[in-house]
A and B are shown apart, each in its own frame.
Chain A
Amino acid sequence: MNVTVKLFATFRTGRFAAENREYQSGTTVLDIIKELDINADDIGATLINGRHVEEDSQLNEGDTLSIFPLVGGG
């Protein structure tokens, strides 16, 4: 299935801003985080089609997954 993966802020460094990628059906958010070698502790939010989701959520054909790093400074 085809999934658009969008990375934000520092997660783009050495990776990409947005890409259409092919995955097997049943792929979860966590699978993609691992594939992209993103440290799960650095993640602030994961969204599918603009909605907040947990790591075990499965993706469907045509979904857009967005991954944001944690931001907490003041």
Chain B
Amino acid sequence: MEKMRDFLRAMADGDLITWHHQKFAANYFGMTLAQVERIVLEAGLLPARYQRNRKTISIKDQAKLFRSHVAVIGCGGLGGYVIEELARIGVGRITGIDPDVFEEHNLNRQLYSTPENLGKPKVEAAYERVSKINPAVTFIPKKVSFSKMNGFDLLQGVDVVVDALDSIPVRMELAEISAELDAPMVHGAIGGWYGHVATQFPGENTLRKIYSRSVQSKGIEIDLGNPSFTPAVVASLEVSEVCKILIGHGTTLSNRKLHINLLDMEVEEIRY
């Protein structure tokens, strides 16, 4: 380990370690890229891919992100963008849960859907994409339907849960399991030009309040569908919440919901 640290320090340009050197170190010392990345960050060095993060996320915070495990429930419209952004920002472990394969009606918005991927499991496409864009990140694909029955096992050891589901009853089950596991849950939902985001910390009942009057399992999205930009906007807001929770900075949407109207460009805050 000390040898590796000496090697990395010798190779560093300032405090930056290039991808080439990270790969070289992994090969030379017989380690995974993830193991090298952890050592790099803990030595106070920065993989060069994150150099444009540094004024937003310090090396210490980058190390926190890398030690974190985030679960994304649903790998479709919201989930694709959420996974992409988590992998690029450098969250070390991402579990993606989704039972579905890509279908043609996903192509207008779901980031990992392509004509070639039709029929491919969404979690498999996500795994391939994360391996391509940030091979130091570990992506754990789970091709299953999340439910109260399997949720506790699926989310063991997860630091933050991201709700990217498309069913209100399953969202409620996710909220229940997250609370049991003491894990913060970042919630996002979309339909047409509209969406909302909220964050529920252990002990809060925000999801139950948001859907207190709902007797239906779907909302306006049933009629409106979803265009390409709404999932991208809401997913990005969700990821910014995840980052703040993991690094402990800023103000989250605890006990609040942001309602977003992209048709009239209005944002409304709702307090619970």
Using a CB–CB distance below 8 Å, which chain A residues touch chain B?
8-10, 17, 40-47, 50-52, 54-55, 66, 68-74
Across the interface, B218 reaches (CB within 8 A) one of A45, A51, A72, namely A72
Q: For A51, what are the chain B residues with a Cβ–Cβ distance below 8 Å?
A: 271
Interface of A (DSSP majority class): mixed
Closest 10 CB pairs between A and B? A73-B221, A70-B219, A74-B166, A72-B219, A9-B194, A72-B168, A71-B219, A73-B191, A71-B191, A74-B78
* Contact call A68/B259, Cβ cutoff below 8 A: yes
Question: Can you list 19 A-B contacts with CB-CB less than 8 angstroms, sorted by A residue number?
Answer: A9-B192, A9-B194, A9-B220, A9-B261, A41-B216, A44-B210, A44-B213, A50-B269, A69-B194, A69-B219, A69-B220, A70-B219, A72-B171, A73-B77, A73-B166, A73-B191, A73-B218, A73-B219, A73-B226
Interface centre among A51, A66, A72, A73, by most B CB within 10 Å?
Answer: A73
Interface of B (DSSP majority class): mixed
Q: For B166, what are the chain A residues with a Cβ–Cβ distance below 8 Å?
A: 72-74
Across the interface, B270 reaches (CB within 8 A) one of A47, A69, A70, namely A47
- For the complex, give the distance between the alpha carbons of A47 and B65 in Å: 37
Measured CB to CB, the closest approach of chain A to B208, in angstroms, equals 11
